[in-house]
Structures are given as C-alpha cells and as structure tokens.
Amino acid sequence: MIKMNFTKGLLSMTVLIMFFCISLVFAESKKEVDAIHDLHLQLEKVHASIYANPDKTVATNKLVVALKGVKDKKYAKDLKKASLVAKKLGNAKDQKTRFETYSRLSEILEKYIKANASSGMNVFYCPMVKKKWIAKGEKVRNPYDSSMRECGNKL
C-alpha cells in the first residue's frame, strides 16, 4: 500500500514537472513571438518616418531595443550588427548619411526578413538610387526619392 502511494505520488510529481516545463516553453515562445512582432512594428515605423520626412532625424531607440529582444540564434550576429547600425541611423545628422545607413540596415536584415516572409515584411531595392529598404506589404514605397516613390522592386 505504501509502495503504491509512493508510486502514485512520484507519477503525480512527474506530471506536474512536465506541465511546468511545457508552460515555460510556451511562455518563452510567446515572448519571442511578441519580440518579433515588436521588431516588425519598429521597422515599419522607421520606414514610415523616412518616407514621410527624409530630412528629419529618425527615432530608433525602440528599434534598437526590439532588435536586442529577438533571440534567434541563426541570425544573432546580423541582429547584433543591425542594432549598432540602427543606433547610427538615429544619430545621422544629414539626409545622405541617413539614407546610406538605412540602406545598410536593410541589407543586414535582408536574410532575416526573407526567412520570416510570413510576417508580411519585405525587402525592396531601387536600382536608380542603388539602395534597399524594408517595408510591410507588397507595394513599393521608395523612401529615397519623392519623385520616384514607386521605383523599385521586392527582392
């Protein structure tokens, strides 16, 4: 009788531990999904900011935090590099530097964005200005030249 109760108790404890471990995995998965969603939101905000007013300084603090929040081991180096470039983008004092830095950021994140294509984020390229950008959706919204807003293609 004592042996049977011990076995039942051990089985119950094992089930509880397994449930706890599964809960942790789901919590970490949700945290990562939220971090990726935030990254995409911040990337779209940066694109919208440059598109709307290319002469204005771009706020990138939230983008830097979002880049650091994504824990994708496969793209860890690119995400780290991107966070450094995002800081430079936020500090860019002139339009030329801002455009070059934004294009560089887009190049660094290109593989990551393409690997997560289901997010709706895409990388675009304009052959006229020879620069890339990241934006949500399929529509070409070139941030680099107001006279060529539809110039470019999705990569």
Task: Please compute the mean of the pLDDT values over residues 132-152 and round it to a whole number.
Answer: 93
Strand duo 131-136 + 121-126: pairing: antiparallel
List CB contacts of 16: < 8 A, sequence separation 6 or more.
Answer: none
Amino acid at 111: K
Where are the chain's structural domains?
2-118
119 confidence band (pLDDT: 50, 70, 90): confident
pLDDT, tens only, 14-72: 544 554 444 434 434 667 777 788 888 899 999 999 999 888 999 999 999 999 999 88
Q: What is the DSSP string of 87-111?
A: HHHHH--SHHHHHHHHHHHHHHHHH
Read off the pTM: 0.80
Residue 132 has pLDDT above 80, yes or no: yes
Least confident of 6-15, 36-45, 73-82: 6-15
Give me the residues paired with residue 121 across strands. Answer: 136
Residue 33 is predicted with a pLDDT of 72
Phi, psi of 151 (to 5 degrees): -85, 125
* 26 or 120, higher pLDDT: 120
Residue 86 is predicted with a pLDDT of 96
* 84 or 72, higher pLDDT: 84
Give me the residues paired with residue 71 across strands. Answer: none
Residue 5 is predicted with a pLDDT of 53
Task: Please compute the mean of the pLDDT values over residues 100-129 and round it to a whole number.
Answer: 92
